[in-house]
Amino acid sequence: MKLEIRNVKKTFKNKTAVDSFSMELQSGECVGLIGPNGAGKSTLIKMIADIINPDTGEILLNGKRISSIKKEIGYLPQYPNFFNWMTAKETLMFMGKLSGLSKNGLNTAIPNILKKVGLSGEEDSKVGTFSGGMKQRLGIAQTLLHKPSLIIMDEPVSALDPIGRREVLNLIQEIKKETTILLSTHILGDAQEICERFIVIKNGLKIEDTSIIELLQRNSDNKLNIEITEKDQKWIGTIEELPYVKGIEVIGNQLKVEVENLENNKNLLLGHALKHDVDIVKFEVGNDTLEDIFLKLVVEK
């Protein structure tokens, strides 16, 4: 399986939603498409799912246009609605048959899939009575039914409460062992948890395509976060003169101290603080969180 997106562009009226976007996706990968609201994530996902056509460029799966091999993709919309009057089993039966599966095959596959997504016992409940998390899990069941080689999910967890989110994230963890996944989200923690690779998109442009480890390493600068109490403010003045301190940023009682070499200097600084009898509230190595990096990428660039 190989997904290739080449120079895809899509314009709505006079707003460019996706602009010269290219990427490749290999078998077994789990890729998170992240970006702020309105960045063009959904538009891109919809183009991959062949719901809308790109203005220019092409999207190929195994060298073929998606429209000719729809069987190979499983798509989960942002808000899977289904038909409220259908039961869970009927929904899967309906979607399965549309994917070209036989009735007999479905009769054996559906209970297994429902069990996998934690909906066994609900096969005869109407979809209209389902919670958001249950609908999402049913949606995932539907994407797995025809064993596609690529699963595309549009914001699979964004609209769910913490419980629903946890259920769906665990489920995705589970299924990513068996298939290739491309999902979009604007919540970094979720992406961090399930994906190894990120593509950051902003204003329709790809601004970053990297792995999480690389991203964190690139953004680690030799900083220490220290929190002290009010009475020790004068200590700040004394450490400014230390040879290995390159810069200090003070926000209230919080300090961000940049040092020459994190490994060697952090204990020296801690020792210095203890010697001056500083009341330390917090002392930590200040890696940027993924959220900081995201904000930096999206807001500043």
Partner 1 sequence: MNSFIVLMNKEFTQMVRDFKIIWLPLVFILLGITQPVMTYYLPTILEALGSGQGITIDPNIAAQQGGEILAGTLGAQFDQLGIIIIAISLMGIIQTDKANGMLAFILTRPVPVRSYVGGKIASNYIFTAFSVAVGYLASYLYVNLLFTNVAIFDMLTALLFYLVWILFIISFTTMISTLINSPGLIALISIAFLIGCRLIVGLSSMIDIINPASMSKHAMEVLITGSVNSNAIVNLVVSLLCAAIAIFITNYWISNKKFSNE
For partner 1, the binding residues (CB under 8 A) are 12, 46, 49-53, 70-71, 73, 75, 77, 79-83, 85, 90, 94-95, 97-100
Q: How far apart are CA 205 and CA 123, in angstroms?
A: 42
Closer to partner 1 at the Cβ: 90 or 193?
90
Residue at 140: amino acid letter: I
Beta pairing partners, 184: 33, 154
CB of 54 to partner 1, least distance (A): 11
Shortest distance, position 161 Cβ to partner 1, whole Å: 21
Compute the half-sphere exposure of residue 58: CA atoms within 13 Å on the CB side of its CA: 8
Q: Which is nearer to partner 1, 82 or 198 (CB)?
A: 82
Q: Which is nearer to partner 1, 43 or 265 (CB)?
A: 43
Tell the smallest beta-carbon distance from residue 97 to partner 1 (Å).
Answer: 4
Q: Which is nearer to partner 1, 100 or 162 (CB)?
A: 100
Give the nearer residue to partner 1 in terms of CB position, either 150 or 290. Answer: 150
Taking CA 235 as the corner, what is the angle to CA 231 and CA 241, rounded to the nearest 5 degrees? 165
- Minimum Å gap between C-beta 110 and partner 1 is 15
Pairing of strands 30-34, 180-185: parallel
276 Cα distance to chain centroid = 45
Query: What is the distance between the alpha carbons of residues 282 and 210, in angstroms, rounded to a whole number?
Result: 32
CB of 113 to partner 1, least distance (A): 16
E runs forming strands in the chain: 2-12, 15-26, 30-34, 56-61, 64-65, 73-76, 150-154, 180-185, 197-202, 205-211, 223-228, 245-251, 254-259, 280-285
